[in-house]
Structure 1
Amino acid sequence: MIADVLADATSRMDRAVEAAKEDFATVRTGRANPQMFQRIMVDYYGTPTPLQQLASMQNPEARTIVVTPYDKSALKAIEDAIRDMPNLGANPTNDGTVVRITMPELTEERRKEYVKIVRAKGEDGKVRVRGIRRQSKDDLDALKDEIGEDEIARGEKDLDALTKKHVDAIDDALKVKEAELLEV
């Protein structure tokens, strides 16, 4: 039973770490990257639809992304959604068939802003991991009637080690992203 709780916590914490890493990928570095646009939702005939489902994205140059919609009628909606995306600083242009996005050069001040954003995303990821720990600890406490307190204490120790491992993984990914952002 304790093993089941720990296995569930492990899989949920793994997903939280992956979600944090995906969040980090949405913050741009010196290069334009199609992953920066994975969270953009486009109003497609009144339905919020992920940009990835409406268009293909290519990266022909270091600071340029070309978005080619599958349905040309969605071109204006895609352009508006990209323009309205916060923390991007890009101005998309529409030539009638594709949307070109040229990313501006990052200034030192903008890089520092991005570091703050990444740190906030990292803290959100750690909060998710700690929330999973709290729920798993409650699950372990609920087993006290069936299992001895010594076993519960060992399970909580394992849970704490698991939590530390996942929080450290988020911290490591955060350090890598910060170094990437501050690199000129």
Structure 2
Amino acid sequence: MISDVLAEAREKMDRAVEVAKDDFATVRTGRANPALFQKIPVDYYGTPTPLNQLAGLQNPEARTLIITPYDKTALKEIEKAIVAFPNLGATPTNDGTIIRVTMPELTEDRRREFVKLVRSKGEDAKVVLRNLRRKAKDDLDGQKEVGEDEIARAEKELDAITKTHVDAIDEALKHKEAELLEV
């Protein structure tokens, strides 16, 4: 029973770390990264659809991204969605078959804003981990048929699991900050 609680907590924390890393990838650096564009919602026949489901994304150059829609009728809507997406600052050009997006150079102030944004996302991810830890601890405390020593050992293991995952988020955060501040 205790092992089930710990395994579930570990699995959920693993997912939380992956979500945090994906979230960090959506913050742009000086390069055009396809991950920035994947979750942009495009109004496709009245339904908000993620861009990666409507088009192929290619990165031929450092600051250029080519978007090739699977359905050519969606070109205008994709272009509108890119322009309307906040904090992107990208300028799309449409040639009738593909959309070429050029990312502007980041200024020092903009880089610092993005570092703040990434730190905020990192703190949000840590809050999720702490909430998962609290729930797992409550589940452990609810165990009636297990001795106090076993619960104390399980709580120490839970703390170690939590620390490992918080360290993973900190490491990803440090890597992303370095990437953002790199000129």
TM-score per shorter chain, which class?
A: over 0.9
Query: What pairs with 1:149-164 in structure 2 (closer than 5 Å)?
Result: 149-164=148-163
In the alignment, the residues of structure 2 paired with residue 84 and residue 131 of structure 1 have an alpha-carbon distance, to the nearest angstrom, of 34
- Which residue of the partner structure matches residue 112 of structure 2? 112
1:12 Cα offset (Å)? 0.6
Deviation digits for residues 9-60 of structure 1, max 9, x if unmatched? Answer: 1111011001111111111111111111122111111111111110001111
Aligned amino acid, residue 81 of structure 2? A
Q: Deviations over 1:134-174 (max 9, x none)?
A: 1111111111x111111111111111111111001100110
* Alignment match, 1:134: 134
SS for the counterpart of 2:150 is helix
Question: Which residue identity is paired with 1:52?
Answer: N
Residue 29 of structure 1: aligned partner: 29
Q: Separation in 2 of the partners of 1:87 and 1:154?
A: 46
State the 1:61 CA deviation: 1.3
Residue equivalent to 2:165: 166
Deviations 1:98-146 (A, max 9, x none): 1111000011111101101111111111111111111111111111x11
What CA distance in whole angstroms lies between the structure 1 residues aligned with 2:45 and 2:107? Answer: 37
TM-score (norm 2): 0.97
Query: SS state of the match for residue 92, structure 1?
Result: strand
Q: Gaps (5+ residues) in structure 2? A: none
1:43 aligns with 2:40: no
Give the length in aligned residue pairs. Answer: 183
Q: Which amino acid aligns with 1:146?
A: E
Counterpart residue identity of residue 154, structure 1: R
1:60 match: secondary structure: strand
Give me the whole-angstrom Cα distance separating, in 2, the residues matched to 1:47 and 1:152. Answer: 49
Q: SS in structure 2 opposite 1:59?
A: strand
Q: Quick check: 83-92 or 102-111, which moved more?
A: 83-92
Partner Cα separation in structure 1 for residue 83 and residue 20 of structure 2: 24
Letter in 1 for 2:23: D
Identity of aligned residues (%): 73
The one-letter code matched in structure 2 to 1:32 is: A
Cα distance between partner residues in 2 of 1:80 and 1:120? 28
**Could you tell me the TM-score, scaled by structure 1's length?**
0.96
Letter in 1 for 2:65: I
Q: How many Å separate the matches in 1 of 2:163 and 2:38?
A: 29
